[in-house]
Amino acid sequence: MSTRSIEREAMGRTPALRVGVAGLGLAGALMVSVIEDHAGCTLAAVAEPHAHLRARFEADRRAPAYADLQGVVERDDVDAIYIATPHQFHREHAELAARHGKHVIVEKPMALSLADCDAMIEAAARYGVTLIVGHTHSFDPAVRTMREIIESGAYGRLRMATGWNYTDFLYRPRRPEELDTAKGGGILFNQLPHQVDTVRYLNRSPLRSVRAATGMFDPARPTEGSCAVFLDFEDGACASLVYSGYDRFDTDEWHGWIGEGGFRKSAAHGATRRAWDRFANAEEEAAARSERYGYGGTLAPAAQTPPHQPHFGVMVASCEQADLRQSANGVWVYSREGVHEIAVPDQGGRPGRSDVLDELWLAVRGGVAPVHDGHFARGTVAASLAILRSARERREILL
């Protein structure tokens, strides 16, 4: 039995963490089912300002639903809050939860400024609660396996990582602020943190500097939709990351047409961009985002266990004696002996998403310091801000 299987078995023998969810958009809607299926957590309540999403939830679930987060944090039967609200509310909602003694998981990005990150860290410390920031793909079980291989020293130190991801991100239905960089729109705060978090999780050395170039290829989507960045770590390791969200090439082609969530998909180059052309205005697009991707929507992500491991494009981690890359069900190891695959056991739940809850449970019930705490997440926000500055000033930015 794997270490994680033993941990999840132990979760069923201790009092469950009662988790509230703030926001029933794409991330929050998915987490409702993930929480319900988790061995160590139960769904306690939700907060959602949109009446139609709240009504869908109330028709499906017995947990209470509120129009704002205040009603959830005031409940005595809530231990923790999963914050899946728009970026600009993360600090406010994290501080509110902490003041009421609730542990906090907040979706990435942690916040949009380092001052807000610092305030969230300080609030968690002052009120004695755990603060975890996720989901990013650094929680994925295959990424954890890569880290365990690196930590074992079997192939020497990690010296370089290279990642690519090409998606349709920019043409999925968006609210207006999601196309405004100053409000956290575009890929630098929404997508690139997955890649940055992953290489920082694999290496653990502080970042020394970044050098980046970004692109805005479509005036109708006036925010960064592409990025190429070079990360230099204090220990001499480096990483190069490329992301493009313009719905042309799709790196899932390199992953055997297994999508980000671990489910099979079909090639559909340009389809999201063509569908976007049908929106008459920004209001119609924002309404479609809520209707399709929010709780109970027609395109809401599946909550069932996927047949394969989740991933975020293709990433190769190069140690001194081997290269590591995620496979459909584990990790490929390329060394002088050839190629072999290390399988990642199926733990049930929603890989990556369930692991966020594992980290919370282990921190609160097991006393295990979380890896993805406020300080770690602050480092990713610092990197995102430095990437934005580097691209605008066309120079290396020291951290």
- pLDDT tens track for 287-302: 889 888 899 887 777 6
Could you tell me if 24 and 294 are in contact, meaning their C-beta atoms sit under 8 angstroms apart? yes
Token pair 């130190």 is found at 157
According to the model, what pLDDT value does residue 382 have?
Answer: 98
What's the CATH fold of domain 3-137+350-380?
Rossmann fold (3.40.50)
Question: Does the CA dihedral 166-171-173-177 come out positive or negative?
Answer: positive
According to the model, what pLDDT value does residue 315 have?
Answer: 97
Are β-strands 17-22 and 80-83 bridged in parallel, bridged antiparallel, or unpaired? parallel
Query: pTM for the complete prediction?
Result: 0.95
Q: Where in the chain is the domain with CATH 3.40.50.720?
A: 3-137+350-380
Mean pLDDT taken over the chain: 95
Selection from 18, 20, 132 nearest residue 82 by Cα:
20
CATH 3.30.360.10, domain 140-348+386-398, yes or no? yes
CA distances to 31, 52, 162, 309, 352 from 24, in Å: 9, 10, 34, 25, 19
Question: Degrees (nearest 5) of the Cα angle 25, 48, 79?
Answer: 100
Query: What does the CA dihedral 45, 46, 49, 55 come to, rounded to 10 degrees?
Result: -80
Could you tell me if 15 and 43 are in contact, meaning their C-beta atoms sit under 8 angstroms apart? no
Please enumerate in sequence order all residues whose Cβ is within 8 A of that of 326, keeping only pairs 6 or more positions apart, or say none: 140, 142, 143, 146, 309, 311, 314, 315, 332
Stretches in the chain below the pLDDT threshold 70: 1-9, 12, 302-303
Query: What does the CA dihedral 346, 352, 353, 355 come to, rounded to 10 degrees?
Result: 80
According to the model, what pLDDT value does residue 13 have?
Answer: 76
Please enumerate in sequence order all residues whose Cβ is within 8 A of that of 325, keeping only pairs 6 or more positions apart, or say none: 314, 315, 316, 317, 331, 332, 334
Q: Where in the chain is the domain with CATH 3.30.360.10?
A: 140-348+386-398
CA distances to 42, 123, 130, 182, 323 from 22, in Å: 15, 18, 17, 23, 40
H or E element: which one contains 241?
Answer: strand 238-244
Could you tell me if 226 and 184 are in contact, meaning their C-beta atoms sit under 8 angstroms apart? no
Selection from 361, 324, 363 nearest residue 344 by Cα:
324
Selection from 31, 22, 23, 24 nearest residue 355 by Cα:
31
According to the model, what pLDDT value does residue 356 have?
Answer: 97
Alpha-carbon distance 267 to 265, whole Å? 7
According to the model, what pLDDT value does residue 1 have?
Answer: 39
CA distances to 207, 231, 305, 308 from 156, in Å: 20, 20, 34, 28
Question: Degrees (nearest 5) of the Cα angle 278, 282, 288?
Answer: 65
